[in-house]
Amino acid sequence: MSRKQLAVLILSIVPTVLWGQSPGSASQFDGNSWWAHVKFLADDSLEGRDTGSEGLRKAQAYAVEQFQKAGLEPAGANGFYQPVSFTQLEVNEPKSSLALVGGGKTTKLSFADDAFISSRSTRESIKLNAPLVFIGYGLKIPEKNLDELAGLDLKGRVVVYISGSPADIPTALASHYQTVGERWKALKSAGAIGIVSILNPAAMDVPWTRIALNRNHPSMDLADPQFFETEGLKIAVLYNPASAEALFAGSAHTFSEIATLAKDRKPLPGFPLSVSLVVNAAIEKKNVESANLVAKLPGSDSALKNEYVVLSAHLDHVGIGAPVNGDRIYNGAMDNAAGSAVVMDVAAQLKAHPEKLKRSVLFLLVTGEEKGLLGSKYFAGRPTVPLQSIVADINIDMFLPIVPLKIMKILGLDESDLGTRAAEVTQSFGVKPIADPEPLRNAFVRSDQYSFIHQGVPSVAMDVGFELGSPEQKVFKDWLTYRYHAPSDDVNQPVDLQSAALYEDIVRKLLIETADAAARPEWKPDSFFARYAMK
Ligand SMILES: [Zn+2]
């Protein structure tokens, strides 16, 4: 810890001491129990907790033990477990190829350097040759009268888009329409058969070299056809922006011109490209079994105990992958042993200091988050308690206590009463609540809360935040560049135990207040997401 951070920490402790009588500010956590859980879950022996792996099963056995110690009741389909079946999809690269054809010549693409086949969305082996059409950000957002597909012939075409959204589209709305399911609905009805997604250089967390390094890691989807969202999507390709100029050869535009506009979130043109894409994708499938964990703390109010507040986190991570500096185990300490540890720690604390909560609480540790929010999608689609009885989801994913907690970023802050309450509780601990300052990162739909939102359940996710332009911003930027989804997200990295403990205090108080409130949380009437609660 630097001297400056120490000074900040001391300053932030002063109000607690002065206002020690205020019930919200006495800390219930010390950071050590949290860290002990993280150390267990992120140990090399758990091999990065990949969905369906022995390592994740060990992590689950440990979590069940913690839930039992905390006196929780099993609330899965099989004890604490809710079994989930997956289809694993893998591209056989030696038998596959991608090429661009145009101006009478064929240019073979390098999977490592140019573009690779996304196994998540390419579910069957396929050979095709299709014309390409550039569609800007590829968004159709009726609420904002945006239709980037309008006037373009997409029938039998593969569309090319750059990730991101125009600046005048509110974050939540933009995030929602960038989910694969929503995106595909519009593209499918326009007749498209495939997608080429160019990463937006202005919003890349992870450098291309590291993304491409793990491209052959198998992907998964839920085996249950109820959850299949991309019917008719034949090929999905992820494109390196550094190689994207080739896609625009012979058109009236260049990629550098597009990227410059996209950087400032300006509107983009749409037009047919002069090259077509030749695909030979060899896909291999197999079944994988895993499970969510569900534990219940029964409420004490005779009526409200039949309602549930969910505290969720994903226990899975990405497992063993390509070596970085000789290390192949992607330990996932912050992503998301850290969040799982909060769930276990809060459960234990509520046993040590019972609060007689009115509503029941579900402690939920999901699988398959790294495969595309799949475990939570399954739980929210097939909950082990009636869906209507779930009043809220408080989700924790990679909350990053790597600097002192002075600012709390609340995803969903402006969307519901739960967001408002999260901000109030945060403030009661002397921490400043803020909405997502980096909408381009799409965080609102990038973790498990989105599975609940989609089923109409008010949700929030909170992360340690920073002021734009502050030194802390660089700490986070570096963390994302060097540790996010890398073997170095392990227990040898610096963390701030006080920051983690304060975070736990805030989560605990939000959970208690939500469980005890007279009324269940509601979406704000003008929130885009209110629609799911009404369907
Ligand atoms: Zn992750």
Under DSSP, is residue 82 helix (H, G, I), strand (E, B) or coil?
A: strand
How many Å lie between the centroid of ligand 1 and the Cα of residue 373? 10
Phi and psi at 194, nearest 5°, equal -165, 165
DSSP 181: H
How many Å lie between the centroid of ligand 1 and the Cα of residue 446? 9
How many Å lie between the centroid of ligand 1 and the Cα of residue 34? 19
Please write the tens of the pLDDT for every residue from 238-249: 999 999 999 999
What pLDDT score was predicted for residue 430?
97
Phi and psi at 118, nearest 5°, equal -85, 115
List of E strands, 315-400: 319-324, 327-330, 360-366, 390-396
How many Å lie between the centroid of ligand 1 and the Cα of residue 409? 18
**What's this model's pTM, rounded to 2 decimal places?**
0.84
Give the residue ranges of DSSP H helices in 399-535: 417-428, 449-453, 471-482, 497-516, 530-534
CA 485 to chain centre: 12
Residue 478 and residue 120: Cα distance in Å, rounded?
28
Please write the tens of the pLDDT for every residue from 138-192: 999 998 999 999 999 999 999 999 999 999 998 778 888 988 889 999 999 999 9
Q: Across the strands, what pairs with 293?
A: 81, 365
Per-residue tokens: 87: 């289809």
| pLDDT exceeds cutoff 50 at 105 | yes
How many Å lie between the centroid of ligand 1 and the Cα of residue 486? 10
CA atoms within 13 A on the CB side of 196: 30
Per-residue tokens: 211: 């993304």
% of the chain exceeding 90 in pLDDT? 81
| pLDDT exceeds cutoff 90 at 442 | no
How many Å lie between the centroid of ligand 1 and the Cα of residue 441? 13
Residue 49 and residue 59: Cα distance in Å, rounded?
7
How many Å lie between the centroid of ligand 1 and the Cα of residue 449? 14
How many Å lie between the centroid of ligand 1 and the Cα of residue 107? 34
Residue 444 and residue 466: Cα distance in Å, rounded?
17
How many Å lie between the centroid of ligand 1 and the Cα of residue 398? 8
How many Å lie between the centroid of ligand 1 and the Cα of residue 335? 5
How many Å lie between the centroid of ligand 1 and the Cα of residue 226? 25
How many Å lie between the centroid of ligand 1 and the Cα of residue 122? 21
How many Å lie between the centroid of ligand 1 and the Cα of residue 481? 13
pLDDT band at 353 (very low <50, low <70, confident <90, very high): confident
Contacts of 457 (CB under 8 A, 6+ apart): 310, 380, 387, 390, 391, 392, 393, 533
How many Å lie between the centroid of ligand 1 and the Cα of residue 317? 6
Residue 188 and residue 478: Cα distance in Å, rounded?
38
How many Å lie between the centroid of ligand 1 and the Cα of residue 370? 5
How many Å lie between the centroid of ligand 1 and the Cα of residue 371? 9
How many Å lie between the centroid of ligand 1 and the Cα of residue 397? 8
Contact yes or no for 292/75 (Cβ under 8 A): no
Which candidate, 26, 37, 124, 63, places its Cα nearest to that of 366?
A: 63
| pLDDT exceeds cutoff 90 at 531 | no
What pLDDT score was predicted for residue 241?
97
How many Å lie between the centroid of ligand 1 and the Cα of residue 252? 39
| pLDDT exceeds cutoff 90 at 458 | yes
How many Å lie between the centroid of ligand 1 and the Cα of residue 376? 14
Instruction: Report CA dihedral (166, 169, 170, 172) to the nearest 10 degrees.
Output: -80
pLDDT band at 388 (very low <50, low <70, confident <90, very high): very high
How many Å lie between the centroid of ligand 1 and the Cα of residue 50? 11
How many Å lie between the centroid of ligand 1 and the Cα of residue 485? 6
Under DSSP, is residue 254 helix (H, G, I), strand (E, B) or coil?
A: coil
How many Å lie between the centroid of ligand 1 and the Cα of residue 121? 18
Residue 535 and residue 524: Cα distance in Å, rounded?
16
Please write the tens of the pLDDT for every residue from 287-333: 999 999 999 999 999 999 999 999 999 999 999 988 999 999 999 99
Contact yes or no for 423/433 (Cβ under 8 A): yes
When the pLDDT of each residue in the chain is averaged and rounded to a whole number, the result is 92
How many Å lie between the centroid of ligand 1 and the Cα of residue 288? 19
What pLDDT score was predicted for residue 528?
82
Q: What is the mean pLDDT of residues 341-349?
A: 98
Residue 503 and residue 429: Cα distance in Å, rounded?
10
How many Å lie between the centroid of ligand 1 and the Cα of residue 393? 19
How many Å lie between the centroid of ligand 1 and the Cα of residue 426? 25
How many Å lie between the centroid of ligand 1 and the Cα of residue 213? 16
| pLDDT exceeds cutoff 50 at 22 | no
How many Å lie between the centroid of ligand 1 and the Cα of residue 463? 14
How deeply is 474 buried, as exposed, middle or buried, from its count of CB atoms within 10 A (0-12, 13-18, 19+)?
exposed
What pLDDT score was predicted for residue 204?
83
Contact yes or no for 74/295 (Cβ under 8 A): yes
Please write the tens of the pLDDT for every residue from 498-529: 999 999 999 999 999 999 999 999 999 988 88
pLDDT band at 2 (very low <50, low <70, confident <90, very high): very low
Furthest-apart CA atoms within the chain: distance in Å: 78
Contact yes or no for 220/367 (Cβ under 8 A): no
How many Å lie between the centroid of ligand 1 and the Cα of residue 69? 28
How many Å lie between the centroid of ligand 1 and the Cα of residue 316? 9
CB atoms within 10 A of CB 447: 25
Contact yes or no for 249/274 (Cβ under 8 A): yes
Residue 428 and residue 24: Cα distance in Å, rounded?
7
How many Å lie between the centroid of ligand 1 and the Cα of residue 90? 19
What pLDDT score was predicted for residue 17?
35
Query: Rounded to a whole number, what is the distance in angstroms from the first to the last CA of the chain?
Result: 50
How many Å lie between the centroid of ligand 1 and the Cα of residue 353? 32
Contact yes or no for 337/42 (Cβ under 8 A): yes
| pLDDT exceeds cutoff 90 at 218 | no
Contact yes or no for 263/202 (Cβ under 8 A): yes
How many Å lie between the centroid of ligand 1 and the Cα of residue 484? 7
What pLDDT score was predicted for residue 7?
34
